[in-house]
Amino acid sequence: MRTKWIFIIFLLLLSGGLSRSADTETQVSQSLQAEFSLAVSTDLYIVFDIPGQKIDLKAKGIILRTWKIEKIRLWGDPIPLNPASLLKKSALFPPQREDIKPGETDQETTFELETLELSDMPSSYTLRLEQNISMYIGPQSTGWTSFLRNIGYSLRWHFYPPLKTVWTKVKKQSFTVFEVTLENKEESQAFYWALGENSPFLILPF
Amino acid sequence: MRKKKLYFSILGVILTVFLILVGIGYYLGSRTQSRWKAVLVADNSTQAGTASKRVDRVVLERKIQKLAPKGVYIVIDSGKNILCLRKGTEILLRAIVSCGSGNILQEPGGKRTWVFDTPRGVFSITSEIKDPSWIKPDWAFIEEAKEIPTNPNDRIETGVLGDYALGFGDGYFIHGTLYTRLLGRNVTHGCIRVGDKDLKKLFVEVTIGTPIFIY
Protein backbone atom coordinates (compact mmCIF):
# COMPACT_ATOMS: atom_id res chain seq x y z
CA MET A 1 0.00 0.00 0.00
CA ARG A 2 2.79 2.43 1.01
CA THR A 3 4.76 1.61 -2.15
CA LYS A 4 1.67 2.39 -4.22
CA TRP A 5 1.33 5.83 -2.59
CA ILE A 6 5.03 6.57 -3.05
CA PHE A 7 4.69 5.61 -6.72
CA ILE A 8 1.67 7.93 -7.18
CA ILE A 9 3.47 10.83 -5.46
CA PHE A 10 6.54 10.19 -7.65
CA LEU A 11 4.39 10.29 -10.80
CA LEU A 12 2.71 13.53 -9.68
CA LEU A 13 6.08 15.17 -8.99
CA LEU A 14 7.42 13.98 -12.33
CA SER A 15 4.44 15.31 -14.28
CA GLY A 16 4.76 18.68 -12.53
CA GLY A 17 8.45 18.83 -13.39
CA LEU A 18 7.79 17.95 -17.01
CA SER A 19 5.06 20.57 -17.39
CA ARG A 20 7.35 23.21 -15.87
CA SER A 21 10.10 22.12 -18.21
CA ALA A 22 7.69 22.36 -21.19
CA ASP A 23 6.72 25.87 -20.02
CA THR A 24 10.35 26.93 -19.92
CA GLU A 25 11.16 25.39 -23.29
CA THR A 26 8.19 27.14 -24.91
CA GLN A 27 9.17 30.50 -23.44
CA VAL A 28 12.79 30.08 -24.52
CA SER A 29 11.90 29.09 -28.08
CA GLN A 30 9.33 31.88 -28.36
CA SER A 31 11.88 34.45 -27.18
CA LEU A 32 14.56 33.03 -29.50
CA GLN A 33 12.15 33.15 -32.45
CA ALA A 34 11.37 36.80 -31.66
CA GLU A 35 15.06 37.61 -31.27
CA PHE A 36 15.98 35.86 -34.50
CA SER A 37 13.44 37.93 -36.43
CA LEU A 38 14.91 41.09 -34.87
CA ALA A 39 18.53 40.06 -35.45
CA VAL A 40 17.81 39.46 -39.14
CA SER A 41 15.72 42.54 -39.83
CA THR A 42 17.18 45.32 -37.67
CA ASP A 43 20.55 46.80 -36.79
CA LEU A 44 20.55 47.35 -33.04
CA TYR A 45 17.93 46.01 -30.65
CA ILE A 46 17.32 45.88 -26.92
CA VAL A 47 16.59 42.66 -25.03
CA PHE A 48 14.91 43.52 -21.77
CA ASP A 49 15.51 40.38 -19.73
CA ILE A 50 13.36 40.57 -16.59
CA PRO A 51 14.26 37.16 -15.09
CA GLY A 52 17.94 37.74 -15.86
CA GLN A 53 17.70 41.24 -14.29
CA LYS A 54 19.57 42.80 -17.20
CA ILE A 55 19.18 44.82 -20.36
CA ASP A 56 21.27 43.80 -23.38
CA LEU A 57 21.98 45.98 -26.37
CA LYS A 58 22.47 43.54 -29.23
CA ALA A 59 23.12 43.36 -32.94
CA LYS A 60 23.18 40.19 -35.05
CA GLY A 61 22.88 38.17 -31.85
CA ILE A 62 26.03 39.70 -30.31
CA ILE A 63 25.82 41.49 -26.97
CA LEU A 64 27.34 44.95 -27.42
CA ARG A 65 26.59 46.30 -23.96
CA THR A 66 24.79 45.09 -20.83
CA TRP A 67 23.10 47.10 -18.06
CA LYS A 68 22.38 45.44 -14.74
CA ILE A 69 18.88 45.97 -13.36
CA GLU A 70 19.00 46.59 -9.62
CA LYS A 71 15.23 46.66 -9.04
CA ILE A 72 12.18 46.24 -11.21
CA ARG A 73 8.45 46.67 -10.62
CA LEU A 74 5.78 45.96 -13.19
CA TRP A 75 2.10 46.74 -13.48
CA GLY A 76 -0.61 46.07 -16.01
CA ASP A 77 -1.43 43.77 -18.86
CA PRO A 78 0.81 40.90 -19.97
CA ILE A 79 2.97 41.63 -23.01
CA PRO A 80 3.13 39.27 -25.97
CA LEU A 81 6.61 38.17 -26.98
CA ASN A 82 6.65 40.57 -29.92
CA PRO A 83 9.15 43.38 -30.40
CA ALA A 84 7.86 46.84 -29.45
CA SER A 85 9.53 49.94 -30.90
CA LEU A 86 10.51 52.94 -28.84
CA LEU A 87 8.17 55.82 -29.63
CA LYS A 88 9.44 58.54 -27.33
CA LYS A 89 12.06 59.29 -24.67
CA SER A 90 10.97 62.01 -22.28
CA ALA A 91 12.79 63.64 -19.38
CA LEU A 92 12.31 66.67 -17.16
CA PHE A 93 15.52 68.18 -18.51
CA PRO A 94 16.17 66.66 -21.95
CA PRO A 95 19.62 67.18 -23.48
CA GLN A 96 19.98 70.24 -25.70
CA ARG A 97 22.13 70.42 -28.81
CA GLU A 98 24.39 73.44 -29.31
CA ASP A 99 24.17 75.52 -32.46
CA ILE A 100 27.47 76.30 -34.16
CA LYS A 101 27.90 79.94 -35.05
CA PRO A 102 29.89 80.12 -38.30
CA GLY A 103 33.23 81.87 -38.01
CA GLU A 104 33.49 81.58 -34.22
CA THR A 105 36.85 80.68 -32.63
CA ASP A 106 37.85 77.09 -33.25
CA GLN A 107 36.81 75.11 -30.16
CA GLU A 108 39.47 72.50 -30.72
CA THR A 109 42.32 74.95 -30.34
CA THR A 110 40.85 76.76 -27.32
CA PHE A 111 39.65 73.53 -25.61
CA GLU A 112 36.39 75.18 -24.58
CA LEU A 113 33.99 72.48 -25.62
CA GLU A 114 30.27 72.92 -25.96
CA THR A 115 29.22 69.51 -27.17
CA LEU A 116 26.63 66.88 -26.36
CA GLU A 117 28.27 64.32 -24.10
CA LEU A 118 27.25 61.38 -21.95
CA SER A 119 27.21 63.54 -18.81
CA ASP A 120 24.57 65.79 -20.43
CA MET A 121 22.10 62.92 -20.64
CA PRO A 122 19.28 62.69 -18.09
CA SER A 123 19.51 59.92 -15.51
CA SER A 124 15.76 59.68 -14.82
CA TYR A 125 13.44 59.45 -17.80
CA THR A 126 10.40 57.76 -19.26
CA LEU A 127 10.30 55.57 -22.35
CA ARG A 128 7.06 55.16 -24.29
CA LEU A 129 6.92 52.01 -26.40
CA GLU A 130 4.40 50.55 -28.79
CA GLN A 131 1.57 48.43 -27.34
CA ASN A 132 1.01 51.14 -24.69
CA ILE A 133 4.10 50.14 -22.70
CA SER A 134 5.81 52.71 -20.47
CA MET A 135 9.10 52.40 -18.65
CA TYR A 136 10.34 54.64 -15.86
CA ILE A 137 14.12 54.39 -15.85
CA GLY A 138 16.29 55.81 -13.10
CA PRO A 139 19.38 55.17 -11.01
CA GLN A 140 19.48 54.07 -7.38
CA SER A 141 19.00 57.26 -5.43
CA THR A 142 21.87 58.44 -3.29
CA GLY A 143 22.71 61.66 -1.50
CA TRP A 144 20.53 64.16 0.33
CA THR A 145 17.89 64.36 -2.39
CA SER A 146 17.26 60.62 -2.38
CA PHE A 147 14.60 60.78 0.35
CA LEU A 148 12.52 63.37 -1.53
CA ARG A 149 13.05 61.57 -4.83
CA ASN A 150 11.90 58.26 -3.38
CA ILE A 151 8.73 59.90 -2.07
CA GLY A 152 8.10 61.35 -5.55
CA TYR A 153 8.71 58.02 -7.31
CA SER A 154 6.56 56.19 -4.76
CA LEU A 155 3.64 58.57 -5.28
CA ARG A 156 3.99 58.26 -9.04
CA TRP A 157 4.07 54.47 -8.85
CA HIS A 158 1.13 54.11 -6.46
CA PHE A 159 -1.24 56.56 -8.13
CA TYR A 160 -0.47 56.91 -11.84
CA PRO A 161 -0.60 53.22 -12.97
CA PRO A 162 -3.93 52.46 -11.20
CA LEU A 163 -5.54 55.60 -12.62
CA LYS A 164 -4.17 54.91 -16.10
CA THR A 165 -5.46 51.32 -15.80
CA VAL A 166 -9.00 52.62 -15.24
CA TRP A 167 -8.64 54.97 -18.21
CA THR A 168 -7.27 52.27 -20.55
CA LYS A 169 -9.96 49.79 -19.49
CA VAL A 170 -12.60 52.36 -20.41
CA LYS A 171 -10.91 52.82 -23.80
CA LYS A 172 -10.44 49.02 -24.12
CA GLN A 173 -6.69 49.33 -24.57
CA SER A 174 -3.84 47.41 -22.97
CA PHE A 175 -1.45 49.16 -20.59
CA THR A 176 1.80 48.01 -19.04
CA VAL A 177 4.28 49.99 -17.01
CA PHE A 178 7.72 49.10 -15.65
CA GLU A 179 9.79 50.91 -13.07
CA VAL A 180 13.43 50.03 -13.62
CA THR A 181 16.27 50.98 -11.30
CA LEU A 182 19.75 50.80 -12.81
CA GLU A 183 23.04 50.54 -10.94
CA ASN A 184 24.01 54.22 -10.88
CA LYS A 185 23.63 57.58 -12.60
CA GLU A 186 26.29 56.85 -15.26
CA GLU A 187 24.66 53.57 -16.26
CA SER A 188 21.28 55.25 -16.53
CA GLN A 189 22.74 58.04 -18.70
CA ALA A 190 24.56 55.49 -20.87
CA PHE A 191 21.28 53.64 -21.47
CA TYR A 192 19.57 56.88 -22.52
CA TRP A 193 22.46 57.57 -24.91
CA ALA A 194 22.28 54.09 -26.44
CA LEU A 195 18.59 54.37 -27.30
CA GLY A 196 18.15 55.44 -30.88
CA GLU A 197 14.95 56.52 -32.59
CA ASN A 198 12.51 53.60 -32.87
CA SER A 199 14.90 51.20 -31.13
CA PRO A 200 13.12 47.84 -31.04
CA PHE A 201 12.66 46.28 -27.58
CA LEU A 202 12.15 42.60 -26.91
CA ILE A 203 10.76 42.17 -23.40
CA LEU A 204 11.25 38.75 -21.84
CA PRO A 205 8.71 38.60 -19.01
CA PHE A 206 9.52 35.24 -17.40
CA MET B 1 -17.54 80.18 7.49
CA ARG B 2 -20.15 78.72 5.10
CA LYS B 3 -17.78 79.25 2.15
CA LYS B 4 -15.03 77.42 4.01
CA LYS B 5 -17.37 74.50 4.67
CA LEU B 6 -18.34 74.40 0.99
CA TYR B 7 -14.68 74.37 -0.09
CA PHE B 8 -13.93 71.51 2.32
CA SER B 9 -16.93 69.56 1.06
CA ILE B 10 -15.86 69.97 -2.58
CA LEU B 11 -12.32 68.97 -1.67
CA GLY B 12 -13.64 65.95 0.23
CA VAL B 13 -15.75 64.83 -2.75
CA ILE B 14 -12.83 65.22 -5.17
CA LEU B 15 -10.52 63.29 -2.85
CA THR B 16 -13.09 60.53 -2.37
CA VAL B 17 -13.65 60.16 -6.14
CA PHE B 18 -9.88 60.15 -6.66
CA LEU B 19 -9.37 57.43 -4.04
CA ILE B 20 -12.26 55.37 -5.42
CA LEU B 21 -10.71 55.55 -8.91
CA VAL B 22 -7.32 54.53 -7.51
CA GLY B 23 -9.05 51.64 -5.68
CA ILE B 24 -10.77 50.49 -8.88
CA GLY B 25 -7.41 50.78 -10.65
CA TYR B 26 -5.80 48.57 -8.02
CA TYR B 27 -8.59 46.01 -8.35
CA LEU B 28 -8.30 45.91 -12.15
CA GLY B 29 -4.51 45.90 -11.87
CA SER B 30 -4.49 42.89 -9.54
CA ARG B 31 -6.68 41.00 -12.04
CA THR B 32 -4.33 41.73 -14.94
CA GLN B 33 -1.27 40.75 -12.86
CA SER B 34 -2.59 37.21 -12.53
CA ARG B 35 -3.08 37.08 -16.30
CA TRP B 36 0.70 37.31 -16.90
CA LYS B 37 1.23 33.62 -16.16
CA ALA B 38 -2.18 32.52 -17.47
CA VAL B 39 -1.30 33.80 -20.95
CA LEU B 40 1.86 31.72 -21.04
CA VAL B 41 0.10 28.57 -19.83
CA ALA B 42 -2.57 29.05 -22.52
CA ASP B 43 0.15 29.45 -25.12
CA ASN B 44 1.80 26.24 -24.00
CA SER B 45 -1.35 24.15 -24.18
CA THR B 46 -1.41 24.65 -27.92
CA GLN B 47 2.23 23.77 -28.36
CA ALA B 48 3.91 20.44 -29.04
CA GLY B 49 5.96 18.46 -26.50
CA THR B 50 9.13 19.36 -24.64
CA ALA B 51 11.46 17.35 -26.87
CA SER B 52 10.42 19.13 -30.07
CA LYS B 53 10.69 22.47 -28.24
CA ARG B 54 14.27 21.63 -27.29
CA VAL B 55 15.06 20.87 -30.92
CA ASP B 56 13.47 24.22 -31.93
CA ARG B 57 15.58 25.99 -29.35
CA VAL B 58 18.85 24.46 -30.56
CA VAL B 59 17.99 25.24 -34.19
CA LEU B 60 17.13 28.86 -33.34
CA GLU B 61 20.25 29.30 -31.21
CA ARG B 62 22.37 28.06 -34.13
CA LYS B 63 20.55 30.36 -36.56
CA ILE B 64 21.27 33.38 -34.33
CA GLN B 65 24.90 32.33 -33.85
CA LYS B 66 25.32 32.13 -37.63
CA LEU B 67 24.42 35.83 -37.93
CA ALA B 68 27.43 36.87 -35.80
CA PRO B 69 30.64 37.90 -37.61
CA LYS B 70 33.11 35.08 -38.14
CA GLY B 71 36.31 37.13 -37.93
CA VAL B 72 37.23 40.39 -36.23
CA TYR B 73 34.72 43.18 -35.82
CA ILE B 74 34.69 46.70 -34.38
CA VAL B 75 32.38 47.89 -31.59
CA ILE B 76 32.22 51.63 -30.88
CA ASP B 77 30.57 53.16 -27.81
CA SER B 78 30.01 56.72 -29.05
CA GLY B 79 28.97 57.91 -25.58
CA LYS B 80 32.05 56.68 -23.72
CA ASN B 81 34.24 57.23 -26.79
CA ILE B 82 35.67 53.74 -26.72
CA LEU B 83 36.49 51.54 -29.69
CA CYS B 84 36.97 47.79 -29.25
CA LEU B 85 38.31 45.41 -31.82
CA ARG B 86 36.80 42.04 -31.00
CA LYS B 87 36.99 38.47 -32.22
CA GLY B 88 34.13 36.46 -30.75
CA THR B 89 34.01 37.63 -27.14
CA GLU B 90 37.77 38.31 -27.00
CA ILE B 91 38.86 41.97 -27.05
CA LEU B 92 41.95 42.40 -29.24
CA LEU B 93 42.21 46.19 -28.91
CA ARG B 94 40.58 48.81 -26.69
CA ALA B 95 41.18 52.38 -27.83
CA ILE B 96 40.02 55.77 -26.59
CA VAL B 97 38.54 57.70 -29.50
CA SER B 98 36.60 60.87 -30.28
CA CYS B 99 33.09 60.68 -31.72
CA GLY B 100 30.52 63.19 -32.99
CA SER B 101 29.80 66.38 -31.05
CA GLY B 102 26.05 66.35 -31.64
CA ASN B 103 26.19 70.05 -32.55
CA ILE B 104 24.06 71.64 -35.24
CA LEU B 105 25.25 73.83 -38.10
CA GLN B 106 22.74 75.86 -40.09
CA GLU B 107 23.83 77.34 -43.41
CA PRO B 108 23.38 81.12 -43.13
CA GLY B 109 20.64 82.15 -45.53
CA GLY B 110 20.48 78.63 -46.89
CA LYS B 111 18.29 75.61 -46.39
CA ARG B 112 20.93 73.13 -45.38
CA THR B 113 21.44 71.90 -41.81
CA TRP B 114 24.02 69.46 -40.50
CA VAL B 115 23.84 67.49 -37.23
CA PHE B 116 27.29 66.28 -36.26
CA ASP B 117 26.42 62.88 -34.80
CA THR B 118 28.35 59.68 -35.31
CA PRO B 119 25.88 57.41 -37.10
CA ARG B 120 24.60 54.44 -35.10
CA GLY B 121 23.90 50.95 -36.33
CA VAL B 122 25.68 48.21 -38.22
CA PHE B 123 28.20 49.19 -40.90
CA SER B 124 31.22 47.65 -42.58
CA ILE B 125 34.58 48.92 -43.77
CA THR B 126 34.26 50.06 -47.35
CA SER B 127 37.71 51.58 -47.97
CA GLU B 128 41.24 51.48 -46.52
CA ILE B 129 43.43 54.48 -47.29
CA LYS B 130 47.11 55.11 -46.46
CA ASP B 131 48.25 58.76 -46.02
CA PRO B 132 44.74 60.10 -46.56
CA SER B 133 43.91 63.65 -47.59
CA TRP B 134 40.76 65.35 -46.42
CA ILE B 135 38.44 66.55 -49.14
CA LYS B 136 36.67 69.26 -47.19
CA PRO B 137 32.89 69.16 -47.56
CA ASP B 138 30.72 72.29 -47.78
CA TRP B 139 30.01 72.40 -44.04
CA ALA B 140 33.74 72.77 -43.27
CA PHE B 141 33.81 76.09 -45.16
CA ILE B 142 30.46 77.26 -43.78
CA GLU B 143 31.61 76.53 -40.23
CA GLU B 144 34.68 78.71 -40.76
CA ALA B 145 32.54 81.39 -42.46
CA LYS B 146 34.54 80.99 -45.67
CA GLU B 147 33.33 80.86 -49.22
CA ILE B 148 32.75 77.43 -50.72
CA PRO B 149 35.42 76.94 -53.44
CA THR B 150 34.46 76.16 -57.00
CA ASN B 151 37.79 74.45 -57.76
CA PRO B 152 37.77 70.89 -56.25
CA ASN B 153 41.54 71.12 -55.60
CA ASP B 154 40.91 73.91 -53.09
CA ARG B 155 39.03 71.43 -50.93
CA ILE B 156 42.02 69.13 -50.40
CA GLU B 157 43.79 69.35 -47.05
CA THR B 158 46.69 67.04 -46.22
CA GLY B 159 48.11 65.85 -42.91
CA VAL B 160 44.97 66.24 -40.79
CA LEU B 161 43.60 62.68 -40.89
CA GLY B 162 46.70 60.85 -39.61
CA ASP B 163 48.45 57.98 -41.37
CA TYR B 164 45.40 55.86 -42.17
CA ALA B 165 41.69 56.18 -42.81
CA LEU B 166 39.03 53.49 -42.83
CA GLY B 167 35.84 54.49 -44.60
CA PHE B 168 32.47 53.07 -43.60
CA GLY B 169 30.12 54.87 -45.98
CA ASP B 170 28.42 58.25 -46.48
CA GLY B 171 31.72 60.11 -46.05
CA TYR B 172 32.35 58.78 -42.52
CA PHE B 173 35.84 57.55 -41.61
CA ILE B 174 37.81 56.10 -38.74
CA HIS B 175 41.00 58.17 -38.95
CA GLY B 176 43.90 59.71 -37.03
CA THR B 177 43.99 63.12 -35.36
CA LEU B 178 46.20 66.08 -34.57
CA TYR B 179 44.13 66.78 -31.45
CA THR B 180 45.20 63.80 -29.33
CA ARG B 181 44.37 65.74 -26.13
CA LEU B 182 40.72 65.58 -27.13
CA LEU B 183 40.58 61.78 -27.40
CA GLY B 184 37.82 60.60 -25.08
CA ARG B 185 35.63 63.65 -25.82
CA ASN B 186 32.77 64.12 -28.27
CA VAL B 187 34.25 66.71 -30.61
CA THR B 188 34.11 65.46 -34.19
CA HIS B 189 31.77 66.12 -37.08
CA GLY B 190 30.70 62.47 -37.07
CA CYS B 191 33.92 60.65 -37.95
CA ILE B 192 35.81 58.60 -35.37
CA ARG B 193 39.25 59.87 -34.45
CA VAL B 194 41.78 57.37 -33.11
CA GLY B 195 45.31 57.81 -31.71
CA ASP B 196 48.24 56.94 -34.00
CA LYS B 197 49.33 53.65 -32.36
CA ASP B 198 45.80 52.25 -32.07
CA LEU B 199 44.98 53.32 -35.62
CA LYS B 200 48.01 51.45 -36.97
CA LYS B 201 47.01 48.25 -35.14
CA LEU B 202 43.43 48.64 -36.35
CA PHE B 203 44.57 49.15 -39.95
CA VAL B 204 46.63 45.94 -39.82
CA GLU B 205 43.85 43.80 -38.31
CA VAL B 206 40.81 44.83 -40.37
CA THR B 207 39.95 44.34 -44.03
CA ILE B 208 37.26 45.62 -46.37
CA GLY B 209 33.97 44.15 -45.16
CA THR B 210 34.91 44.04 -41.46
CA PRO B 211 31.67 44.79 -39.57
CA ILE B 212 31.39 47.90 -37.39
CA PHE B 213 28.76 48.16 -34.65
CA ILE B 214 28.18 51.71 -33.37
CA TYR B 215 25.90 52.68 -30.49
DSSP, residue by residue, chain B: -HHHHHHHHHHHHHHHHHHHHHHHHHHHHHHHHHHHHHHHHHHHHTS--HHHHHHHHHHHHHHHHHHS-SSEEEEEETTTTEEEEEETTEEEEEEEEEEE---EEE-TTSS-EEE-PPP-EEEE--EEEES-EEE--HHHHHHTT-PPPSSGGGGEEESSS-SEEEE-STT-EEE--S-GGGTTSEEESSSEEE-HHHHHHHHHH--TT-EEEE-
Number of compact structural domains in chain A: 1
- What is the pTM for the complete model shown? 0.85
Q: Quick check: A64 and B213 CB within 8 A?
A: yes
- Give the whole-number percent of chain B exceeding pLDDT 70: 92
A20 falls within a domain:
no
Does the pLDDT at position A16 exceed 50? Answer: no
State whether residue A76 sits within 8 Å of chain B by CB: yes
The pLDDT of residue B116: 97
Give the CATH number of domain B72-214: 2.40.440.10
Residue B45, pLDDT above cutoff 60: no
- What pLDDT, in 10s, does the model give residues B107-154? 998 789 999 999 999 999 999 999 999 999 999 999 999 999 999 999
In a domain, A77, yes or no: yes
Is A78 in Cβ contact with B36 (below 8 Å)?
Answer: yes
* Residues of the domain holding A137: 33-96+114-204
Q: Name the pLDDT band for A114 (thresholds 50, 70, 90).
A: confident
Tell which of A23, A42, A101 to mutate to test the B interface (max B CBs under 10 Å): A23
Which sequence spans correspond to the domains of chain B? 2-67, 72-214
Of B57, B67, B69, the CB nearest to A32: B57
- The rounded distance, in Å, linking the Cα atoms of A201 and A192 is 14
Q: What is the mean pLDDT of chain A?
A: 86
Chain A with chain B: Cβ pairs closer than 8 A: 176
Within a domain: residue A78? yes
H or E segment and range at residue A126 = strand A125-129
Tell whether A135 is covered by a domain. yes
Q: Which residues of A touch B108 (CB under 8 A)?
A: 102
pLDDT at position A59: 97
Mean pLDDT of chain B: 91
Phi, psi of B137, deg, nearest 5: -75, 175
Q: Do A163 and B63 touch (CB under 8 A)?
A: no
Identify the H or E element spanning A87.
Answer: strand A84-90
pLDDT of residue B33: 66
Which among B28, B77, B211 has the least Cβ separation from residue A169? Answer: B28
Tell me what pLDDT residue B31 has: 75
Task: Answer yes or no: do A111 and B28 touch at CB < 8 A.
Answer: no
Average pLDDT in the A5-26 region?
Answer: 56
The pLDDT, as a whole number, for residue B4 is 86
| CATH number for position A190 | 2.40.440.10
A37 to chain B, any CB pair closer than 8 A? The answer is no
Report the pLDDT value the prediction gives residue B137, as an integer from 0 to 100: 96
Q: Between these two residues, A23 and A79, which has the higher pLDDT value?
A: A79
- Measuring CA to CA, which residue among A203, A196, A206, A178 is closest to residue A55? A203
Residue A188 lies in a domain: yes
Predicted local distance difference test score (pLDDT) of residue B110:
78
Please state, in angstroms and rounded to a whole number, the distance separating the CA atoms of residues A195 and A87: 11
State residue A127's pLDDT score.
97
Higher pLDDT, B63 or B31: B63
B2 to chain A, closest Cα gap in Å? 32
Indicate the pLDDT class of residue B57, thresholds 50, 70 and 90: confident
**Chain A residues lying within 8 Å of B49, measured CB to CB:** 22
Interchain CB distance below 8 Å, A115 and B101: yes
Instruction: Please judge whether A103 and B21 are an interchain contact, meaning their C-beta atoms are less than 8 angstroms apart.
Output: no
Condensed to tens digits (0 to 9), the pLDDT of residues A35-44 reads 999 999 889 9
Of B35, B108, B121, the CB nearest to A102: B108
